[in-house]
Amino acid sequence: MSSTNATVYLISGANRGLGLALAATLAARPNTIVFAGARDPAATKALNELAAKHPNVQPVKLTAGDKADNEAAVAQIKKTAGRLDVLIPNAGIMKHHGPLGITPLSEMREHWEVNTLGFVVLYQAAHELLLASPTGKPTIAYISSVMGSIGSYFHTTAAPYGSSKAAANFLVKVLDAEQPALIAMAIHPGWVQTDMGNGGAELMGKKEAPVTVDKAIEGILVRIDGATKEKSSGRFFNLVSHDGNP
């Protein structure tokens, strides 16, 4: 097994949107290795262009909720980098709105499968390597949403999505409590100009989401870079205002 002194990141859903932008920003930093997860890496032009430009970006096949896929990706990280320091479960879907009484169960299941179980399966595959991070501060930054916050924001029409993110927020608290060294946090990136964010804006008759991808990435990375067990772990950071308040 080879090992490196670089900080090693694994990002799911890194072929477009926030995940791709996170991968690009981290890859441009010195001394990083970025494993960029995608369902079909070979078919992803933008990710392959990024990897061609930055040899420290390694695309890996990562389908949310697929145990074999996730375990193979982590085995590849262990073999090529020998360590994992920061896990960013970012892959997500939001594709149904409507009253709960007529929401198809298939929609509930699919959102829970990708947004919640996708996180669990990824953590289960990665936890041994992550918890052994030589930094002594293994970090998970789950990309969540205020739509999964019961207290701060409550959107009745997005039951499949909101409940999937609320469950994941709970799991972040669980990980904080059960792993003394692990920094586990949930981050709402703002309403961002990606396929998902702009799709939501369109539904509301708006031209685009208000937050640029660059601004969202800046906010996410400030939280990750400055994370400590005491200040950050078990917290939900709402970056809407980018004021840093948990």
Which parts of this chain interact with ligand NDP (CB under 6 A)?
13, 15-19, 39, 63-64, 90-94, 114, 143, 145, 188-189, 191-192, 194-197, 209
Active site residue 123: no
Closest to 187 measured CA to CA, from 153, 217, 163, 150: 217
Q: Which is nearer to ligand NDP, 56 or 119 (CB)?
A: 119
Q: Which is nearer to ligand NDP, 17 or 219 (CB)?
A: 17
Q: Annotated catalytic residue: which of 61, 67, 161, 215?
A: 161
Using DSSP bridges, classify how beta strands 183-188 and 57-61 pair: parallel, antiparallel or unpaired. Answer: unpaired
Active site residue 161: yes
Tokens of 167: 């469950």
Q: Which is nearer to ligand NDP, 83 or 116 (CB)?
A: 116
- CA 151, CA 149: separation in Å to the nearest integer? 6
Q: How would you label 100-125 residue by residue, b for 16+ Cβ within 10 Å and e otherwise?
A: eeebeeebbebbbbbbbbbbebbbeb
Q: How far is the CB of 103 from ligand NDP (least distance, A)?
A: 18
Sequence-ordered list of residues with C-beta below 8 angstroms from that of 156, at least 6 positions apart, any chain: none
Q: How far is the CB of 16 from ligand NDP (least distance, A)?
A: 5
Q: Which is nearer to ligand NDP, 83 or 149 (CB)?
A: 149
Q: Annotated catalytic residue: which of 153, 165, 207, 229?
A: 165
Active site residues: 161, 165
